[in-house]
Each structure stands twice: as structure tokens, then as C-alpha cells.
């Protein structure tokens, strides 16, 4: 057996492959496609204090090499999650991360308190969703606001605290430092890139135009994600979970090469729903075939 484990101290993974928030669901939506026990961890759909219906109108727009979404954090709310979804996650006995989002600092603090009370081992704080009118990016683009928010969350939550950063900034290093100084345990990067989808339909000289402005994900954002992960690793000592455009083994290896300790698979889940399990198997086979001792040895060689 090849050792693929990742030890974050407070949180340990059997392998470095996670499913990204918003692309897997809450707990068992992908049961028909893969054995989730073979995945390092799943990250839940973003959860807010109250139930959210999400944005009205068209929410998805497929583009070359990617997907634009403006879901708007549709979710069932924390109380329903605890009653309806958390028991199933515990029954499955798998690693999971609760992704949380809020409009105000108080929203985040209350969610942190609830997470602590419920004994949730790992939380990912969404301060980077571009598809809501209040919260998230308001905190994730200003280092002082971000520091204050994460400091308050840290006071209430003792578990493994991951902060999900946005690429829609020029100063990702300053934001990463604010996260580190506020006491977070880990950074995940990146969330979606702001994008615009344009659909044109012509009937003679008449044009029907449809616009979808939201977050761009998928293969096309991988170079941006790799750059951001590298910059973050050069600025802070915190471990980084890399995500953005990963669809095959080589993509994952590239993220390891620039410093990521683990990865999250997002948009590829929609077209290849068992991709996380496939990559776990392919990674073990690759390490054995190439003669590396384990995942740690592979990462060491990739970073020389």
C-alpha cells in the first residue's frame, strides 16, 4: 500500500484529494457514482445561517474550457443541515469540511460557534464567492477586514480552520498574511474568477442577447490558480489546498509542484462524477510505478 496521507495536525486525510464546495452537494448526492470513503475529504455546499433560495434567472453558462455560475449560495441553512445532513455524514464515517458563508461578521461568528458545539472537525470559511450582494468578497478583498473576521472566528472555533481566498485581487500575499496572523490553520485557493458569458441569437438584423455574469471555473482558470498558490506559499508558512481547473493526474502534480499539500476537485465533478476516486487510484499507481516511497517523497522531488 502506498502512503498517500496528508497530516495537517488537527485534520488528517487518507489521500490529498478533496471535492470542492458547491460541486459535490452536502453528503451523499454522488453515492451512485463513487465510493466516497476512497476520497480524502468532501467539502460541503456553502452553508449560511438561514436558508437561501439563491439568485433568480439563469445561473449557469458553459464557456470554452469552463463554466460560469451565479448560483448565489443557495442552501438549506445551518439548522436544517445539522438535522438532515450531518447525521448522514457521521454515519458514512468520512472526512468532511463544512463550508460556511455569511453577510456579516456576526453570521460567521455564529456559524463558528455552532460548528464548535456540533464537534465539526474542519471548517472552510468562504470569503471569496463573487455571486452574492453582501458578505464573502466584502471580507475577502481587504486584509484588515479579513484579519478581524478570522480572528473572531478563531476565538469561537478550535477545529481545523481553512480560509478560501479569491483570485479577484492584486494583493493575494497580503490577504494570506492576514489569514496567517489571525490564527487560521490552512488556506484554500482559488475560488472562481469573475467572468461574463455572452449569448447572441440573430434573426435577420434582430439580435437577442443574454448575459450571465458570475464566477468562472474549470480548466481555463488553472494557470491563474497555479500562480496564486505559488504566490501564497512564498508569502506564508500555512499549508495550502490548491484548486482551480484540475481534471487529471498531471494537473494535480502541478499543484503539488508549486506547494499545495492537497487539492480540491470542482467543475470536473460535473462531467466525470467519479473523478476524485479515479485520481486517488491513479496517484497511488503513479507513485509506485515511478519508484517514489510515498506521497511525501513525490512532493519533495517535485519542489526541488
Average pLDDT over residues 55-80: 95
Question: How far apart are the C-alpha atoms of 8 and 14, rounded to whole Å?
Answer: 11
C-beta pairs of 150-153 under 8 Å, 24+ apart in sequence:
150/125, 150/178, 150/179, 150/182, 150/183, 150/184, 151/182, 151/183, 152/105, 152/108, 152/109, 152/112, 153/108, 153/109, 153/112, 153/125
Q: Identify the CA nearest to 260 among candidates 304, 301, 299, 217.
A: 299
Question: How far apart are the C-alpha atoms of 217 and 194, rounded to whole Å?
Answer: 9
Q: Which residues are catalytic?
A: 129
Neighbour tally for 170: CB within 10 Å = 7
In a 13 Å sphere around the CA of 285, the CA atoms on its Cβ side amount to 7
% of the chain beyond a pLDDT of 90: 91
Which residues are registered as beta bridge partners of 250? none
pLDDT one-digit tens code per residue, 215-253: 999 999 999 999 999 999 999 999 999 999 999 999 999
**Residue 205 DSSP label:** T
Inform me whether the pLDDT recorded for 131 exceeds 60: no
Reported confidence tier of residue 26, pLDDT bands at 50, 70, 90: very high
Q: Which stretches of the chain are assigned E, i.e. beta strand? A: 6-7, 12-13, 17-19, 41-43, 60-63, 66-69, 96-100, 122-126, 160-164, 186-189, 193-203, 206-217, 240-243, 262-265
Q: Identify the CA nearest to 43 among candidates 262, 248, 234.
A: 262
Is 133 buried (19+), middle (13-18) or exposed (0-12) by CB count in 10 A? exposed
**Average confidence score pLDDT of the chain:** 95
**What pLDDT does 135 receive?**
52
89 Cβ contact partners less than 8 Å away, ≥ 6 residues apart: 26, 27, 96
pLDDT one-digit tens code per residue, 265-303: 999 999 999 999 999 999 999 999 999 999 999 999 999
Reported confidence tier of residue 255, pLDDT bands at 50, 70, 90: very high
**What pLDDT does 130 receive?**
60
pLDDT one-digit tens code per residue, 158-210: 999 999 999 999 999 999 999 999 999 999 999 999 999 999 999 999 999 99
Reported confidence tier of residue 128, pLDDT bands at 50, 70, 90: confident
**Residue 46 DSSP label:** P
Triad 257, 98, 101: Cα angle to 5°:
100
| Contact between 68 and 215 (Cβ < 8 Å) | yes
**What pLDDT does 98 receive?**
98
Rounded to a whole number, what is the largest CA-CA distance in the chain? 65
Count of helix runs (H) and strand runs (E) in the chain: 11, 14
Question: What letters, b where the CB count within 10 A reaches 16 and e where it falls short, cover 16-39?
Answer: bbbbbbbbbbbbeebeeebebebb
Amino acid at each position: 500500500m502506498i502512503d498517500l496521507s496528508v497530516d495537517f495536525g488537527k485534520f488528517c486525510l487518507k489521500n490529498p484529494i478533496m471535492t470542492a464546495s458547491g460541486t459535490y452537494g452536502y453528503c451523499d448526492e454522488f453515492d451512485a457514482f463513487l465510493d466516497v470513503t476512497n476520497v480524502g475529504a468532501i467539502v460541503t455546499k456553502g452553508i449560511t445561517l438561514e436558508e437561501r433560495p439563491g439568485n433568480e434567472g439563469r445561473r449557469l453558462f458553459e464557456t470554452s474550457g469552463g463554466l460560469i455560475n451565479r448560483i448565489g449560495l443557495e442552501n438549506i441553512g445551518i439548522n436544517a443541515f445539522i438535522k438532515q445532513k450531518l447525521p448522514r455524514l457521521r454515519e458514512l464515517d468520512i472526512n468532511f469540511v463544512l463550508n460556511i458563508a455569511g453577510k456579516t461578521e456576526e453570521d460567521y461568528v455564529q456559524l463558528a460557534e455552532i460548528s464548535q458545539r456540533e464537534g465539526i472537525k474542519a471548517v472552510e470559511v468562504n470569503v471569496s464567492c463573487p455571486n452574492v450582494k453582501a458578505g464573502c468578497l466584502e471580507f475577502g478583498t481587504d486584509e484588515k477586514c479579513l484579519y478581524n473576521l478570522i480572528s473572531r472566528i478563531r476565538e469561537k472555533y478550535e477545529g481545523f480552520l481553512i480560509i478560501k481566498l479569491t483570485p479577484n485581487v492584486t494583493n493575494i500575499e497580503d490577504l494570506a498574511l492576514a489569514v496567517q496572523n489571525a490564527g487560521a490553520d490552512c488556506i484554500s485557493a482559488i475560488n472562481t474568477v469573475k467572468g461574463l458569458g455572452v449569448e447572441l441569437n440573430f434573426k435577420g438584423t434582430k439580435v437577442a442577447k443574454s448575459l450571465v455574469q458570475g464566477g468562472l471555473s474549470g480548466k481555463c482558470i488553472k494557470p491563474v490558480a497555479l500562480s496564486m498558490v505559488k504566490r501564497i506559499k512564498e508569502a506564508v508558512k500555512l499549508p495550502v489546498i490548491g484548486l482551480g481547473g484540475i481534471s487529471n493526474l498531471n494537473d494535480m502534480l502541478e499543484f503539488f509542484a508549486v506547494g499545495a499539500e492537497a487539492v480540491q476537485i470542482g467543475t470536473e465533478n460535473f462531467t466525470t462524477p467519479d473523478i476524485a476516486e479515479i485520481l486517488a487510484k491513479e496517484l497511488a499507481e503513479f507513485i509506485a510505478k515511478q519508484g517514489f516511497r510515498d506521497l511525501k517523497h513525490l512532493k519533495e522531488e517535485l519542489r526541488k
